[in-house]
């Protein structure tokens, strides 16, 4: 593996390793982290691979410092990331908020295990979905992706970096233990076929640069610290210069900017796949490893003649509200399997607003949901009298 950032070819690797390779292919050259099952393999491979490509790996003292370090790495101009699991993600959330407030592009991979607390370190969970949306305090928008295979760990890590660079914010990869530890074919394309996006750079004279003045599509160009541009980086509510403004007007202006750069660009961010949805009477909505269970269920149910389709969420935050509002009156029910006791299903229910029933197929963690359980829920929904 000496020296190559893009390992073009066909591999049999696990999701954590594929995440590392995706990051390198996207241009990541700084990783700061703290090992934790089931995310350790991301850091482990990074520690070997980054020095080969001129990057820097630092094992930090904890996850709070890890998150702080990658924010600094990003302001220094390096594409930066960290990886962790639930307990570490809880610690990172303070500084993820700092990254959101200071509009710092970076990537956090959370390979979810079952919680709360130390929980089941080696076993699967999807319990951090709402934490990724609301876990840091205050008012903000986030972007999170949910890979369902090692290949998607590669592809969606690139996607996460691109979105973080394009929209200047920390992007979370909401993976899970099964996807992280599962080995499968991973095809790494030639480097020139991988789309890599970089943050906008200032085009104005150094003296007139404003680090938070929205540019094209609502996102401010970002200078590197040390390039000679005036800059001020703070977690206090700040104006376009980056200077603290301790009043409601500045807060309104800043949070509007944080919201609008996401909400006004949904067509560039939202991503979901549909499978056999055209004539479906029941729609299964799933993400991450549960989308594999759902796909198995939908294919088996179709073989039995059941009219069921699948919506697989690739980007989970922001949630595709408009799509589900329009779909709701066309189906008899929606079913969501997830490895928690009901998180994304709350968002689905909110958006659907009673226009069709929404059923949860839940597992609290430690095992993935079997296709059988989803098929039973589909059958029950189809038998329900309108």
Partner 1 sequence: METSKQREVVITGFGGQGIILTGNILGKAATIGDGRHATMTQSYGPEARGGSCSTQVIVSDGEIAFPYAEHPQLLVCMSQEGYEKNQEALVPGGTIVWDTDLVETGELNPDWRAYHVPATRLAEELGNKMMANIVMLGFVSAVSDVVGVDSLKEAMLSSVPPHTKANNDAAFERGREYGQAILKSRAKRESSGEPSGS
Q: Looking at 108, 351, 368, 375, which residue binds partner 1 (CB under 8 A)?
A: 368
Peptide bond into 116 cis (omega under 30): yes
Complex with partner 1: residue 178 or 327, whichever CB lies closer: 178
Interface with partner 1 (CB under 8 A), residue from 35, 87, 135, 184: 184
Considering the complex, state which of residue 79 and residue 295 has its C-beta at the smaller distance from partner 1: 295
DSSP H helical ranges for the chain: 15-26, 40-52, 63-75, 86-101, 129-134, 150-167, 177-181, 248-263, 266-269, 289-303, 321-327, 344-352, 371-383
User: What tokens does 344 get?
Assistant: 């994304």
Instruction: Tell me the closest approach of the beta carbon of residue 221 to partner 1, in angstroms.
Output: 42
**Could you say whether residue 12 binds partner 1 (CB under 8 A)?**
yes
Give the residue among 175, 146, 172 at the shortest CA–CA distance from 16.
175
Q: Does 121 bind partner 1 (CB under 8 A)?
A: yes
- Contact positions with partner 1 (CB under 8 A) in 278-337: 292-293, 295-296, 299
Region of 55-63, 83-91, 179-187, 225-233 interacting with partner 1 (CB under 8 A): 179-187
Cα angle, residue 69 at apex, residues 238 and 261 outer, rounded to 5°: 40
DSSP 1-20: -TT-SS--EEEEEEHHHHHH
- CA dihedral sign of residues 162, 163, 164, 168: positive
Output the smallest distance, CB 267 to partner 1, in A. 29
Pick the binder of partner 1 from 106, 182, 269, 352 (CB under 8 A): 182
**By CB under 8 A, is residue 97 in contact with partner 1?**
no
Which residues are bridge partners to 238 per DSSP? 244
Among positions 37, 47, 251, 274, the unique one binding partner 1 when judged by CB under 8 A: 37
Least Å distance, CB 12 to partner 1, is 4
Tell whether residue 343 is a contact of partner 1 (CB under 8 A).
no
Nearer to partner 1, 123 or 327 (CB): 123
Structure token pair of residue 247:
């009043």
**Does residue 11 have a cis peptide bond before it, meaning omega lies within 30 degrees of 0?**
no
Among residues 2, 10, 203, 207, which is the contact residue for partner 1, using CB under 8 A? 10
**Which residues contact partner 1 (rule: CB under 8 A)?**
10-12, 37, 121-123, 178, 181-185, 292-293, 295-296, 299, 368, 370-371
């Amino acid at each position: 593996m000496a020296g190559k950032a893009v390992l073009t070819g066909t591999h049999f690797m696990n999701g954590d390793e594929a995440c590392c390779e995706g990051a390198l292919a996207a241009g990541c050259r700084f990783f700061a982290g703290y090992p934790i099952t089931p995310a350790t393999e991301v850091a482990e491979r990074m520690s070997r691979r980054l020095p080969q490509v001129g990057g820097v790996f630092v094992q930090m003292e904890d996850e709070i410092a890890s998150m702080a370090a990658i924010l600094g790495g990003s302001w220094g101009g390096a594409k930066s990331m960290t990886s962790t699991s639930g307990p570490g993600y809880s610690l990172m959330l303070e500084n993820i908020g700092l990254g959101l407030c200071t509009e710092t592009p970076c990537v956090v991979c959370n390979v979810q295990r079952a919680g709360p607390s130390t929980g089941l370190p080696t076993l699967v969970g999807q319990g951090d979905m709402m934490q990724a949306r609301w876990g840091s305090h205050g008012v903000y928008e986030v972007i999170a992706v949910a890979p369902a295979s090692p290949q998607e760990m590669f592809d969606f890590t690139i996607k996460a970096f691109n979105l973080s660079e394009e929209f200047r914010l920390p992007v979370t990869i909401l993976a899970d233990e099964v996807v992280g530890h599962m080995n499968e074919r991973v095809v790494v394309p030639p480097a020139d076929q991988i789309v890599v996006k970089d943050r906008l750079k200032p085009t104005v004279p150094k003296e007139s640069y404003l680090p938070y003045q929205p540019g094209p599509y609502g996102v401010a160009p970002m200078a590197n610290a040390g390039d000679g541009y005036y800059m001020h980086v703070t977690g206090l509510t700040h104006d376009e210069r980056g200077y603290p403004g301790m009043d409601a007007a500045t807060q309104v202006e800043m949070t509007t900017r944080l919201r609008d750069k996401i909400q006004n660009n949904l067509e560039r961010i939202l991503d979901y796949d549909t499978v056999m949805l055209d004539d479906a009477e029941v729609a299964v909505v799933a993400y991450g490893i549960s989308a594999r269970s759902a796909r198995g269920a939908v294919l088996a149910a179709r073989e039995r003649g059941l009219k069921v389709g699948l919506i697989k969420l690739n980007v989970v935050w922001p949630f595709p509200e408009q799509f589900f509002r329009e779909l709701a009156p066309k189906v008899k029910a929606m079913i969501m399997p997830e490895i928690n006791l009901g998180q994304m299903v709350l968002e689905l229910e909110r958006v659907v607003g009673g226009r069709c029933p929404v059923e949860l197929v839940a597992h609290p963690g430690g095992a993935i949901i079997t296709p059988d359980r989803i098929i039973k829920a589909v059958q029950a929904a189809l038998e329900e009298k309108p």
